[in-house]
Amino acid sequence: MTRARAVGGAMAFGLLASASPALSAEQIYTYSVVHPIYGEIGTFTDAVDRSPEGLRIDAHLRVAVKLLGVVAYREEADTTEVLRGGRLVSLESVTNKDGRHLEVHGAAHGDQFMVNATSGSYAAPAKIVPSDPWVLKRTGDELVVSTSSGKMVSVQITGGDYETVSMNGTVVSARHYVVNGDKRQEVWLDNHQVPIMFRSMEDGTAIDFVLQNTSAAGDTTTVAALRHSAGARSENDDK
């Protein structure tokens, strides 16, 4: 089914550098996955651990599209990325995409990043970055490795200006970036460079990931507080 399959690969964002140090220690971010026809179809959770040694991101995707109570499409993925000094040093992911099993194993070796994946193996430049909205830093041309397939993709990142976006029924202000590579993708960042929403075009369908809450050390902050943070600046503020 084309529409059900539209969820596949929704996390293939090609972005840049390391997340902002404004937030410290491990934070857990929970997103709802929203399809324009089927509504909320799953969750995406990121555990982001910042330390003096670097950045570790553990991501978990759980999606199921149901038609008349029957699962028509299912996707589950678990990914771990480790960056040090802005360089990707390790990438491990396991994805089950509607019965198709995919694995990616990557590690830095000298001036290269070696990738062994279900789709094949290759040596990438050391500067390659994971396809993850958490590592968005600047605009320009970049080379990324897909966290789900392990494929190397050239992308162009534009935007970065403040604009308003509707999120959970509330309009907030955030920096908007557009990523063009093998597909079009978008991300909206708040003032702490937290992705409050990101989007992937899959077979012409926009799949949205909308932040619902963040937690640290057992405490939970609802998205209402995040809305306040995101809307703290306007489009007319200095960029």
Q: Is the pLDDT of residue 133 over 90?
A: yes
Q: Enter the pTM of the model.
A: 0.82
Q: What's the confidence (pLDDT) of residue 219? A: 56
Q: Which residues of 6-34 are buried (b: 16+ CB within 10 A; e: fewer)?
A: bbbbbbbbbbbbbbbeeeeeebbbbbbbb
Percent of the chain with pLDDT over 70: 80
pLDDT digit string, tens, across residues 142-173:
999 999 999 999 999 999 999 998 888 889 99
Averaged pLDDT score across all residues of the chain: 84
Mention every residue, 6+ apart, whose C-beta is less than 8 A from residue 109.
Answer: none
Q: Is the pLDDT of residue 212 over 50?
A: yes
Q: Is the pLDDT of residue 239 over 50?
A: no
Among the listed residues 102, 97, 95, 101, the one whose alpha carbon sits nearest the alpha carbon of residue 74: 97
237, part of any domain: no
200, part of any domain: yes
238, part of any domain: no
pLDDT digit string, tens, across residues 91-111:
999 999 999 999 999 999 999
How many domains is the chain partitioned into structurally? 1
| pLDDT category of residue 118 using cuts at 50, 70 and 90 | very high
122, part of any domain: yes
Q: Is the pLDDT of residue 30 over 90?
A: yes
Q: Is the pLDDT of residue 231 over 50?
A: no
Q: What's the confidence (pLDDT) of residue 138? A: 82
Provide the CATH number for the domain around residue 130. Answer: 2.50.20
Q: Is the pLDDT of residue 137 over 80?
A: no
60, part of any domain: yes
Q: Which two tokens stand for residue 226?
A: 């995040």
10, part of any domain: yes
Q: What's the confidence (pLDDT) of residue 154? A: 94
- Average pLDDT (48-73) is 94
239, part of any domain: no
Give residue 68's domain range.
Answer: 2-230
Q: What's the confidence (pLDDT) of residue 218? A: 54
214, part of any domain: yes
